[in-house]
Amino acid sequence: MTPPRRTPAEATDLVQRVAEYRRDTDFVATVRDQPLRFHATWGLFSPREVDEGTRLLLDTIEVARDADCFDLGCGYGAMGLTMARLAPQGQTTMVDRDFVAVEYANANAALNGITNATALLSNGFAGIPGDQRFDLVASNLPAKVGNEMLTLMIADAYAHLNPGGRLYVVTISGMRRFIERTFEEVFGNYDKVKQGREHTVALAVRQPAS
């Protein structure tokens, strides 16, 4: 197949756009009064700004200053690094199954001088020791991974929470009924914390043993 003919100006424009796409995106975002600078790259979710769902979740969650937090599916670290700032006396673990996301999350932690957060390569909780526990798990759950993987994530979050620990998730609102049903099955409780224009934030609590 013969490639399409381009004018010299069109060819130059393409070269310039490709070169631009190879450069990191670089932006500053303030969430929960925490100004953070992020580097990201194309191929990672929402590389030019903190997305609406993540902002809705972060505006909603309660984070104790000494909480040990877990960011499930961290991307370049917007949620996890914000939680680390809100919990300076705790430790925040960030995980993603994309090694590029992990590299950027760790680089953004260093860029912002955050020493109490670390990103690890893990498919959900698969790379986390079975006896490691957290006070807070948060995730912007992607619908495209399928209900089976979402159920695994929720069940594993329950297993890795301390008694009284909380799981917050934000999803597109079309997933709300599935999340409600699965939270009830796994945790025995469900709370719709906030519903925005397109997203819903839900909370489940691991109840202490009676």
Mean pLDDT confidence for 45-59: 95
Q: How many angstroms separate the CA atoms of 3 and 33, rounded?
A: 51
Instruction: Please give the biggest Cα pair distance in the chain.
Output: 74
Exposure string over 91-123, b if 16+ CB within 10 A, otherwise e? bbbbbbebeebbebbbbbbebbebebbbbeebe
Could you tell me where the DSSP H helices lie in the chain?
Answer: 8-22, 52-60, 78-86, 99-111, 147-159, 176-186
Given a cut of 80, is residue 4 above it in pLDDT? no
Mean pLDDT confidence for 166-195: 96
pTM: 0.91
Tens digits of per-residue pLDDT, 108-151?
999 999 999 999 999 999 999 999 999 999 999 988 889 999 99
9-205 under CATH 3.30.70.2190, yes or no: no
Q: What is the DSSP string of 37-64?
A: EEEE-BTBSSTTS--HHHHHHHHH----
